Amino acid sequence: MSGLELVSKTRCFDGEVRKYTHSSAATNCKMTFNIFLPDIAISGKERVPVLYYLSGLTCNEDNMVTKGGAIPFVSKHRIALVTPDTSPRGVCVEGEEGDWELGTGAGFYVDATEEPWKANYNMYSYVQLELQQLVNESFSVDSARTSIFGHSMGGHGALVLALRNPGHYKSVSAFAPICHPTTSDWGRKQFSAYLGSNESDWIEYDATELLKVYDGPVLSILVDQGDVDQFYSSKQLQPSHLVVAAECNTRLIKLETRMQPGYDHSYWFIQTFMEDHINFHAKKLFEEN
């Protein structure tokens, strides 16, 4: 992993949105991410909490910072916001450009074990290990106060990272996440390609299955779902499965799910409830241990 290259920086809400590229050992290519830094972190006067946002299928590092509406709220709470890309790009893997649900923009936050994906499509390790190490070493953030959230495929990723790394994240939330990918078309298709035919290997990337066996510090989870989301009605998301699993582990899992009438799968939905999610994370990030 090599050092950061600054692509751009723009003044915004008493801070800066910066875009960086760097060479990634996990994905064997150049990766890009955005980070919002409040002024107090830029000055180095204080280490601030850090919140990671994982985007969904077809998205990249820019969707949240341009359409999500999070920056005024993270600025208010003096939280850094990191938005990575959703997959490797330009690595010339056969088939990565032919299907919007697989390959470019569809890394699914797994570490691939199958050809031709395994050399590059390691987004789990990239986000959980490499990117966070780079952010912690390069910016004035407090790694002990880290939270994560995401949308759709990214909501799946956020839940999986939090459940697989007990105690690492103070909180996790999701907008319309893919909750049970081993039982839905969004999941089975990608897991077959990236992880192979042994379905027992898929469980470690399935939030519903991980939630059933979670054994760590109490984890607070917030999930919002729109009731006119076309992917909800087609049973790709299955939030009810997450609720049932959480009911088996109420001692350690504090899950709040909210069905939002009239909302779909878009960033209009995400914008509407963004302040709630930032406030949810801020409460946990600034909570006294």
Of residues 229, 241, 277, 281, which has the active-site annotation?
229
| pLDDT above 80 for 154 | yes
| pLDDT above 90 for 2 | no
**Rounded to an integer, what distance in angstroms lies between the CA atom of residue 288 and that of residue 24?**
35
Q: Residues 183, 249, 175, 37: is their CA dihedral positive or negative? A: negative
Within the chain, what is the greatest distance between any pair of CA atoms? 51
Beta-bridge mates of residue 94: none
Q: Are 263 and 227 in contact (CB under 8 A)?
A: yes
Whether residue 265 lies in the annotated active site: yes
- Give CA 197 to chain center in angstroms: 25
**Rounded to an integer, what distance in angstroms lies between the CA atom of residue 195 and that of residue 110?**
8
Q: Which of 108, 36, 130 is nearest to 75 (CA)?
A: 36
**Phi and psi angles of residue 50, each rounded to the nearest 5 degrees, phi first:** -130, 135
Lowest mean pLDDT among 23-32, 53-62, 91-100, 265-274: 91-100
Whether residue 224 lies in the annotated active site: no
Residue 275 is predicted with a pLDDT of 98
| pLDDT above 90 for 289 | no
To the question of pTM greater than 0.85 for the whole model, the response is: yes
Mean pLDDT along residues 176-187: 97
Q: What is the pLDDT of residues 195-241, one digit of tens each?
A: 999 999 999 999 999 999 999 999 999 999 999 999 999 999 999 99
Of residues 140, 152, 173, 184, which has the active-site annotation?
152
**Phi and psi angles of residue 148, each rounded to the nearest 5 degrees, phi first:** -150, 145
- Name the pLDDT band for 6 (thresholds 50, 70, 90): very high
Residue 1 is predicted with a pLDDT of 45
Whether residue 152 lies in the annotated active site: yes
Average pLDDT, the chain: 97
- How far are the Cα atoms of 20, 154, 176 from residue 50, in angstroms, in the given order? 16, 17, 22
